[in-house]
């Protein structure tokens, strides 16, 4: 309404012609009609989600008073209802996003409810991991047939849960190789959405969930030598960092640039934990033995990820790239070199500390160049975190530690004050 | 229109698969219950909960250890075949544990190695049976556990699981306390 009011005002003031005002109005009316109400979709999904979860909980009560046959028939009711609604949506409402998302979410939970009730009635063995994988695989085709993005997101969450259940929470731990297969099956839908609708809100959710899922699940390949996995993780973060700096992501808000956020925090966090000497002391003592194929899983994962990161790095490599670099994209190479060096000598721990320090300084410099308080303070935070970590090392004297803190504190004040002044001068 | 027909046909295939999986689960279990051999496994239940499938009692079987010669012959979590026979009191006991699948005429269970113990002369494996969960109505699971704890104090009480076996597959039909189904025992206990 306010647009029409504004347009009238602009026409009256002879700023735009009536013709242009008409065109502007027509453009916004068309845009409004073609984009569905986001709130309506969100409530549709939420409603279906609650009903679906509610059905699962009601079923989980285990109704002893019902006969086995009645219970079996009941277990199929939500499933058939869900399927009929989805069939109706495919036939009659296949352009309505709210219908697509809500009906498919309901079907997703109906499938889960049905198999869980049958397992309950017959006390079917099988842990929650095998139940989850059956559920996910039965719902995967819905993602592609109905272009239902919420199901894709639930599927990623379910697959990650499956990986954690087997790889972390189960005793004895089993490497969940199927997780990678599950993830591979969902990637085409991610790609289609990116190609077809790069501004979709669902894509932002995908962008967050996929890297988070990868970060969580990568650790499950660890069998014997978790020390090697640090290289795998740093390579993964290297890949994420380069993706986060691609043209598509650079245009996004920082809160939507999940790859950049996850990789920056992940790399720094990992480097900080490596800046303690325990890791390197341990590395000197390890005797690697590779007898079975499963002893190689960490090496295979690290090799694949580091080669991937290296290819991506070489693809982006040019003068401008080096000039803008804050060293984060090279961390995996530097770490792998220090890892091999660390197998024999203990100098690597100092090297890691120097890398963190250099990243901090380069980030501060970049923040200053870009006149960006966020980046500047992130750099300062890196240095602070490094100082705090060294605070826990007992071999430094209290005086030196105290002085370090004071210096960093002063650094915070000076750099921020100086940048503020610079910004004000520019504004004048 | 053509696209829509293809889409709905594919959807029907998927819907059929979604119906087939639970239906197949029912058929397999029913077939074991109808044509399998019944065994009574002495047990001690406790009650945890599953977020999706509700309350169940976890069954801990008395007959779950098997003596071994050498620790190195066994791997944690590997598949094993447990040969079952009845003892004089009519309860199931382990006859042997093998790694090759036995012929279908013999009564056996496909299970896993849960734990390997090797300390001085004590050398055995703990078997993880595929029927360690018995689902119960939410309100009865806790009561069942209490009832069982009381029953344990009484040496004349026996708790057992009735399990049907067929070609390595097992279906847990019910859990009994002194020959009374656990649901009835709980109900009787609640009414008193």
How do residues A371-421 score in pLDDT, each as one tens digit?
888 888 889 899 888 888 887 776 677 787 788 788 888 888 888 888 888
**Are residues B10 and A128, on separate chains, in Cβ contact within 8 Å?**
no
Mean pLDDT of all residues in B98-121: 86
Q: What is residue B59's predicted lDDT score, i.e. its pLDDT?
A: 82
> By the 8 A CB rule, do A264 and A241 touch?
yes
If one compares B154 and A310, the residue with the highest pLDDT of the two is A310
Mean pLDDT of all residues in A331-356: 87
Query: A36 pLDDT exceeds 60?
Result: no
ipTM: 0.73
- Whole-angstrom Cα distance, residue A157 to residue B23? 26
Question: Chain A partners of B25 at a C-beta cutoff of 8 Å?
Answer: 115, 118-119, 122, 124
Mean pLDDT of all residues in A251-259: 84
In this structure, what are the phi and psi dihedrals at residue B57, rounded to the nearest 5 degrees? Answer: -105, 135
- Whole-angstrom Cα distance, residue A351 to residue A358? 10
Q: What is residue B48's predicted lDDT score, i.e. its pLDDT?
A: 58
Complete DSSP assignment for A308-347: HHHHHHHHH-SHHHHHH--SGGGHHHHHHHHHHHHTT-ST
How do residues A226-239 score in pLDDT, each as one tens digit?
888 899 999 999 99
**Are residues A118 and B22, on separate chains, in Cβ contact within 8 Å?**
yes
Q: What is residue A182's predicted lDDT score, i.e. its pLDDT?
A: 94
**Are residues B12 and A123, on separate chains, in Cβ contact within 8 Å?**
no
Which residue carries 């520019």 as its tokens?
Answer: A426
**pLDDT tier for residue A32 given thresholds of 50, 70 and 90:** low
**pLDDT tier for residue A124 given thresholds of 50, 70 and 90:** confident
What spatial distance separates the first Cα and last Cα of chain B, rounded to whole Å?
A: 66
Q: What is residue A271's predicted lDDT score, i.e. its pLDDT?
A: 93
**pLDDT tier for residue A308 given thresholds of 50, 70 and 90:** very high
- Whole-angstrom Cα distance, residue A235 to residue A224? 19
Q: Which residues contact A309 (CB under 8 A, 6 or more apart)?
A: A235, A236, A238, A239, A242, A332
Counting Cα atoms < 13 Å in the Cβ hemisphere of A10 gives 16
Question: Chain A partners of B130 at a C-beta cutoff of 8 Å?
Answer: 125-126
Q: Exposed, middle or buried, A150 (CB in 10 Å: 0-12/13-18/19+)?
A: buried
- Whole-angstrom Cα distance, residue B66 to residue B95? 9
Report for A45-49, A69-73, A84-88: range of highest mean pLDDT? A84-88
How do residues B20-39 score in pLDDT, each as one tens digit?
998 998 888 888 888 888 88
Q: Which residues contact B57 (CB under 8 A, 6 or more apart)?
A: B45, B46, B47, B133, B134, B136, B141, B144, B145, B175, B182
**Are residues A62 and B138, on separate chains, in Cβ contact within 8 Å?**
yes
Percentage of chain A with pLDDT > 70? 95
Mean pLDDT over all residues of chain A?
85
Mean pLDDT over all residues of chain B?
83
**Are residues A60 and B14, on separate chains, in Cβ contact within 8 Å?**
no
B 116-175 → A contacts, CB under 8 A: 130-138, 140, 170-172
């Amino acid at each position: 309404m306010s647009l029409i009011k504004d347009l009238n005002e602009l026409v009256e003031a002879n700023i735009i012609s009536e013709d242009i005002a008409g065109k502007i109005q027509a453009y916004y009316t068309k845009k409004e009609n073609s984009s569905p109400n986001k709130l309506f979709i969100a409530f549709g999904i939420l409603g279906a989600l609650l009903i679906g979860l509610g059905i699962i909980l009601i079923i989980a009560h285990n109704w002893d008073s019902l006969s086995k046959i009645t219970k079996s028939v009941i277990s199929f009711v939500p499933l058939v209802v869900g399927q009929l609604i989805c069939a109706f949506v495919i036939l009659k409402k296949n352009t309505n996003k709210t219908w697509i998302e809500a009906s498919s979410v309901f079907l997703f939970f109906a499938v889960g409810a049905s198999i869980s009730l049958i397992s309950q009635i017959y006390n079917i063995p099988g842990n929650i991991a095998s139940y989850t994988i059956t559920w996910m695989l039965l719902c995967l085709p819905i993602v592609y047939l109905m272009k239902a993005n919420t199901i894709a997101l639930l599927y990623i969450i379910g697959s990650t849960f499956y990986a954690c259940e087997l790889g972390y929470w189960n005793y004895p731990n089993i490497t969940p190789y199927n997780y990678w297969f599950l993830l591979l099956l969902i990637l085409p839908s991610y790609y289609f959405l990116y190609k077809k609708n790069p501004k979709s809100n669902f894509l932002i959710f995908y962008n967050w969930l996929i890297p988070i899922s990868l970060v969580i699940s990568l650790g499950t390949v660890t069998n014997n030598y978790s020390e090697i996995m640090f290289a795998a993780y740093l390579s993964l973060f290297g890949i994420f960092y380069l993706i986060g700096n691609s043209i598509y992501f650079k245009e996004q808000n920082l809160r939507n640039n999940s790859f950049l956020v996850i990789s920056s925090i992940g790399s720094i966090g990992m480097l900080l934990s490596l800046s303690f000497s325990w890791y390197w002391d341990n590395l000197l003592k390890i005797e690697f033995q590779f007898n079975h194929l499963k002893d190689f899983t960490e090496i295979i994962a690290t090799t694949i990820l580091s080669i991937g990161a290296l290819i991506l790095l070489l693809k982006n490599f040019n003068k401008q790239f080096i000039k803008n670099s804050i060293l984060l994209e090279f961390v995996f190479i530097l770490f792998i070199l220090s890892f091999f060096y660390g197998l024999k000598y203990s100098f690597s721990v100092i090297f890691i500390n120097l890398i963190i320090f250099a990243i901090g300084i380069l980030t501060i410099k970049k923040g200053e160049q870009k006149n960006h308080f966020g980046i500047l303070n992130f750099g300062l935070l890196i240095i602070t975190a490094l100082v705090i970590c060294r605070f826990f090392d007992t071999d430094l004297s209290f005086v030196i530690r105290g002085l370090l803190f004071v210096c960093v504190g002063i650094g915070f004040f000076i750099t921020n004050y100086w940048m503020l002044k610079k910004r004000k001068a520019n504004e004048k | 229109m053509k696209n829509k027909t293809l889409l709905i046909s594919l959807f029907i295939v998927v819907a059929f698969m979604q119906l087939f999986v639970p239906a197949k689960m029912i058929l397999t279990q029913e077939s074991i219950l109808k044509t399998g051999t019944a065994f009574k496994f002495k047990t001690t239940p406790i009650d945890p909960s599953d977020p999706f499938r509700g309350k169940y009692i976890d069954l801990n079987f008395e007959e779950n250890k098997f003596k071994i010669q050498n620790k190195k012959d066994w791997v944690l979590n590997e598949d094993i075949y447990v040969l079952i026979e009845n003892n004089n009191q009519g309860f199931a006991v382990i006859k042997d544990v093998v790694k090759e699948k036995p012929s279908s005429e013999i009564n056996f269970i496909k299970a896993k190695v849960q734990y390997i113990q090797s300390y001085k002369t004590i050398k055995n494996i703990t078997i993880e049976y595929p029927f360690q969960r018995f689902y119960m109505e939410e309100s009865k699971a806790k009561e069942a556990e209490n009832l069982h704890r009381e029953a344990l104090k009484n040496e004349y009480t026996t708790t057992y699981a009735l399990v049907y076996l067929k070609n390595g597959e097992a279906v847990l039909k019910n859990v009994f306390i002194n020959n009374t189904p656990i649901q009835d025992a709980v109900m009787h206990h609640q009414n008193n």
